[in-house]
Amino acid sequence: MDTLTHHQQDTGDGRTAAAERRIGGTGANGTTRRRAAVTAMALAMAAPLTLGAAGDAGAAGGHRIVFARYTAAAPTEDLYAISPSGGTPVPVPLTHTPTVSDVMPSWSPDGKRVAFVRYGSGGAVDGIWTMRTTGGDLKAVPGTEGASDPAWSPDGKRIAYAKPVGTQRELYVADIDGTPATRLTHSTADDLHPTWSPDGKYLAFNRADAAGSSRVMRIRVSTLKQTAVTGPGSHDSMPDWSHSNHIVFSRVDSTGFAHLYVVRPDGTALHRITAARANDKYPSWSPDGRRLVFTRGGTDDADPEHLYLVRADGTALTQLTKTDSHDLEADWRP
């Protein structure tokens, strides 16, 4: 497919080349990339700044959007924040770390902390960290070395994430202090991008198999019972579960492009939201479940990727970021 990068086809979750490098992950092709240690010097250079600065940029009602950004001139990724009402993202990265990258942010339910993935040179994954949104109090989550896709539970007590097991990635859940870490899935495919149901009883995620397909699944955390949300042979990834109990995800459909779709948790009422000749990915619901923020990219890795807003019915499409950058993995503050 000329409209998809080979990285999307390899990983099964729509990651770009830079995204795949940064987590040092395992693709659906079963190739495990080498991980190297992040040096103490690199961590010592970390100087997390404040998400509070985003409020000064005009955040509407405090519901800021945090995201990861990199550019050709600055390939080390940092976290930025922007108001959904528009304007310029915070000019200084929220996490300014010259030799390590911070990506995949996830707000805590009370909006006081952000979880994210930190990784070092050569694509090594250092693990999941949390920080105060006012700056400082940077904490590593023990036992999450090599992990990706952190998702904070609705009660604020746990974090779900994907972690390598052999040549695949499986889902885990742990308390904020990293214990006890419980493995949720045991499959021959890659299980990625967990997202919690509003009641905290389920996780939705995407399962990417060796054949190149990926479908949205649902698992009950207490019993580990799994149910398919979307059909076999699909190319579905990056789900996000709304407070109004709908799941949005990115699907590479018959057009050859990745578009946003919404479905109920039981797999019914599937409908498409976006339909442009571009790749739409990393959707995140607004707190009221009425709008979405997502990344829209071009047809190859050289094209910029910008954040857009759209209503859940597909109307009122608005471009949020406009610089020559790659803006990814946005998360809308609860």
Contact 81, 66 (CB under 8 A): yes
Length of the chain in residues, anyone? 334
pLDDT of residue 40: 27
pLDDT of residue 58: 34
pLDDT of residue 117: 96
Question: Of 299 and 74, which is predicted with more confidence?
Answer: 74
pLDDT of residue 334: 84
C-alpha distances (whole Å) from 251 to each of 156, 206, 239, 292 are 29, 11, 10, 15
Each residue's pLDDT tens digit, 2-55: 322 323 333 333 333 344 433 433 333 332 222 222 222 222 223 333 444 333
Percent of the chain with pLDDT over 70: 78
The model's pTM is 0.83
d(CA 226, CA 213): 18
Each residue's pLDDT tens digit, 42-65: 222 233 334 443 333 333 345 899
Amino acid at 205: F
For 78, residues 6+ apart whose C-beta sits below 8 A from its C-beta are 68, 69, 70, 93, 94, 95, 96, 97, 101, 102
